[in-house]
Amino acid sequence: MPHGFELQPVVSGPFDANPVGFAFLPDGRILILEKNTGNVRLATAGASTSTTIHTIPAVAPTYEGGLLGVAVDPAWPERPYLYFHVSRTNTVIQVLRYTGLGELDVESSSDLQLIDPYIVLGDLPDQQGIHQGGTLRFGPDGYLYVSIGDDGSPCDAQDRTRFNGKILRIDVAGLPAEGGGPPPKTVLAPPTNPYPAGGDNEALVYAYGFRNPFRFTIDSATGDLYVGDVGESTYEEVDELPSTMAGANFGWPEYEATLPDPVAGADTCSTGPFTAPVFEYLHSPTLQASIVCGPVVHPVAGSAFGFPPAYDGDLFVSEFFAGWIKRLVRGAGGWDIAAPVPGQAEWENWAVGLPAISDLQLGPDGALYFMQHLSGSPLERGLYRIIDTASTDAGQPGTSLKIEAFPNPMRVGADTVARFTFGEESASLCIFDAIGRRVWQARTHAGTAFWDGSTAGGERSGAGIYFYELETASGRRATGKLTRVP
């Protein structure tokens, strides 16, 4: 864990089955889902354990199925509704709505009952028990977004008349208060969806061409979606879906990330144009094979635990099997791995040693929360959070410390010097190579520092990616990336 951050348990066992997802009620209570039992658990505000308040019946406990996602109506408790993404034993996925009854806004109470189930969507594909998506999120627009995998039928991800491999956007505000359903799909279709003239199914499609969009996030500031699409055998990817790109086709099965033709014969069912991912990584012998897309971080005013301003707008993603969390930053050329900060065990991974994360979200307190799906080293299953306990290890926007490197990229050569300019303090400048080894360090004159590519041993560094860290005499820090090209 980087310096200045701390990992804390929030809700521990006992559980009847592996927990997989969670959501926050506005009063501070936390809902926790058990994947295979259908149990919905409630942890009161500040409690370290939870109790089962409801069991959704007829849950199909397949390898990738079960009770996977939950969302709280944005008007809770005036609209006391909870929405669930669940695969059923009759080989369909359903989006269910339950009405809350009892203490709807009492943070210390476990008296919350779920009654009057209503089937919002009842015919989502689940013939194979795999690639089911699993996330429900409300956007700032008030609509409910739903992720559905291709159900093992790759070409169906390209067919907008089928729900396989899609992100759906639905309007639940006009549904009746009592149980029942499902409603006509025309009732659920927002008029601003990209395919309003299509049939009933197509009118609900917001984006398509996904393999298994297990976890996605919605930026609370912009309404943009970031989707973690689990790959086939080569790549994992993050797809960006701004509101201006509604209706985009992200390419599966014609593409797996940027790899063309991952599935034999897929070119016969795929029609572009395709939208490329904004971030991807290869599978590896360390078993990188299942991405979980976490939140876009924004500071929470008045919170003692939220991330510092330097992290504003950064995107966090995790890898279920490899157990790392990466911090991504937006640059001129798109999204990239953030420069390392002190305390990182690996230069490209903001945190390591956290396998089996099944959900990663920003909490109402601004901390980074995650669900540990399996028990084992080093953590037992349950809900955890990462909090900021000190001043940031990265640069602080809004202060006089702003570092710029020029030229960047920097050419390899004895006559090429990188110039770093910042505020008026003296400082220490460190250069690190791509695997985190310090190659050069020097004290600087006030406001300016230089690096000619030398290493601590006097040799010249080669082409590649380097990271710099500057710390001023007053303890402020800034970091960045510098590329040396031939």
CA nearest 238: which of 228, 223, 253? 228
Q: What is the CATH number of domain 404-485?
A: 2.60.40.1220
Please, where are the H alpha helices in 245-309?
none
Q: Which residue has the tokens 């943009």?
A: 224
Q: Please give the residue that has the higher pLDDT: either 409 or 298.
A: 298
Q: What is the pLDDT of residues 306-334, one digit of tens each?
A: 898 889 999 999 999 999 999 999 987 78
How far apart (Å, rounded) are the C-alpha atoms in residues 314 and 321? 23
Instruction: Please state which architecture CATH assigns to domain 5-388.
Output: 6 Propeller (2.120)
Q: Please give the residue that has the higher pLDDT: either 102 or 476.
A: 102
CA nearest 121: which of 65, 66, 58, 169? 169
Amino acid at 112: L
The answer to whether the beta carbons of residues 168 and 142 sit under 8 Å apart is no
pLDDT value at residue 330:
92
CA nearest 110: which of 31, 224, 7? 31
Residue 471 pLDDT more than 90? no
Tell me the sheet residues that pair with 329.
336
The answer to whether the beta carbons of residues 254 and 270 sit under 8 Å apart is yes
Residue 400 pLDDT more than 70? no
pLDDT value at residue 190:
97
Residue 396 pLDDT more than 50? no
Q: Which residue has the tokens 């709280």?
A: 72
**How many alpha carbons fall within 13 Å on the CB side of residue 416?**
18
Give me 307's structure tokens.
């991330």
Q: What is the pLDDT of residues 47-86, one digit of tens each?
A: 999 999 999 999 998 889 999 999 999 999 999 999 999 9
pLDDT class for 434, splitting at 50, 70, 90? low
Could you count the other beta carbons within 10 Å of the beta carbon of residue 463? 14
pLDDT class for 203, splitting at 50, 70, 90? very high
Tell me if residue 476 falls in helix, strand or coil.
coil
Give me 330's structure tokens.
């937006």
How far apart (Å, rounded) are the C-alpha atoms in residues 82 and 67? 13
How far apart (Å, rounded) are the C-alpha atoms in residues 168 and 350? 32
- The average confidence (pLDDT) of the chain is 90
Residue 402 pLDDT more than 90? no
Tell me the sheet residues that pair with 238.
228, 279
pLDDT value at residue 62:
85
As a three-state string, the secondary structure of 144-201 is EEEEECCCCCHHHHHCCCCCCCEEEEECCCCCCCCCECCCCHHHHCCCCCCCCCCCCC
The separation between CA 452 and the C-alpha centre of its own chain, rounded to angstroms, equals 38
How far apart (Å, rounded) are the C-alpha atoms in residues 486 and 479? 23
With vertex at residue 444, the alpha carbon angle to CA 439 and CA 445, rounded to the nearest 5 degrees, is: 160
Amino acid at 263: V
| pTM over the 0.95 mark | no
Please, where are the H alpha helices in 40-135?
none
pLDDT value at residue 202:
98
pLDDT value at residue 463:
81
For the chain, the domains span 5-388, 404-485
Q: What is the pLDDT of residues 118-129, one digit of tens each?
A: 999 999 989 888
pLDDT value at residue 109:
96
